[in-house]
């Protein structure tokens, strides 16, 4: 499960044809916290896979995917249209309306050290379920 989530993040990070150092650090941090070795993440960064089926995820897993893709999109201080489009595409595959990305972007910070009230955000995101 965590490798699928990391793959989604890697695809987002590379959507502008460049993985910024801050993006890579967040990917490594999420992977290592969840028991994925640095070597495995290095290999995933070199060979990103197509996004798998996200419909089988639990509601909590879907929200975590959303949370992390928005955080990653904002982490380098630049948000490209390609990244927004990718996030909206992932949101739709997770069963949300595209507008959920804009809603969550208002409250999710680029710095992983600044935490948001995830339960509050989860409730707001649920309004965008299709």
pLDDT, one tens digit per residue, over 65-102 is: 999 899 889 888 888 898 999 999 999 999 999 999 99
Average pLDDT of every residue of the chain: 89
Q: Please check whether residue 13 is in contact with residue 19, taking contact to mean a CB–CB distance below 8 angstroms.
A: yes
How many residues does the structure list for the chain? 130
Q: Please check whether residue 68 is in contact with residue 115, taking contact to mean a CB–CB distance below 8 angstroms.
A: no
pLDDT band at 115 (very low <50, low <70, confident <90, very high): low
CB atoms within 10 A of CB 1: 11
Is the pLDDT reported for residue 111 higher than 70?
Answer: no
End-to-end alpha carbon distance in the chain: 23
- Sign, CA torsion 42/43/47/50: negative
How confident is the model at residue 85, as a pLDDT? 94
Average pLDDT value for residue range 25-38: 94
pTM for the whole structure = 0.82
Given CATH 3.30.70, say whether it is the number of domain 2-126. no
CA distance 49 to 62: 19
How confident is the model at residue 108, as a pLDDT? 85
Please name the residue that has the structure tokens 């309004």. Answer: 127
Nearest to 14 by CA among 57, 62, 39, 47: 47
Residue with more model confidence, 127 or 110: 127
- Residue 111 tokens read as 């710095």
How confident is the model at residue 30, as a pLDDT? 92
How confident is the model at residue 80, as a pLDDT? 87
Is the pLDDT reported for residue 123 higher than 90?
Answer: yes
Which residues, including other chains, have CB under 8 Å from residue 13's CB and lie 6 or more apart?
19, 20, 23, 24, 27, 72
């Amino acid at each position: 499960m965590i490798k699928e989530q990391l793959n989604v993040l890697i695809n987002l990070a590379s959507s502008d044809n460049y993985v910024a150092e801050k993006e890579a650090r967040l990917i490594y941090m999420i992977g290592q916290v969840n028991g994925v070795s640095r070597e495995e993440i290095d290999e995933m960064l070199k060979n990103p896979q197509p996004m798998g089926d996200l419909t089988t995820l639990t509601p909590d897993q879907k929200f975590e995917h959303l949370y992390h893709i928005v955080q990653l999109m904002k982490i380098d201080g630049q948000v490209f249209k390609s990244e927004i489009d990718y996030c909206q595409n992932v949101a739709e595959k997770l069963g949300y309306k595209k507008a959920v990305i804009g809603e969550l972007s208002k409250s999710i910070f680029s710095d992983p050290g600044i935490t948001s009230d995830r339960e509050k955000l989860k409730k707001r995101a649920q309004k965008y379920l299709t």
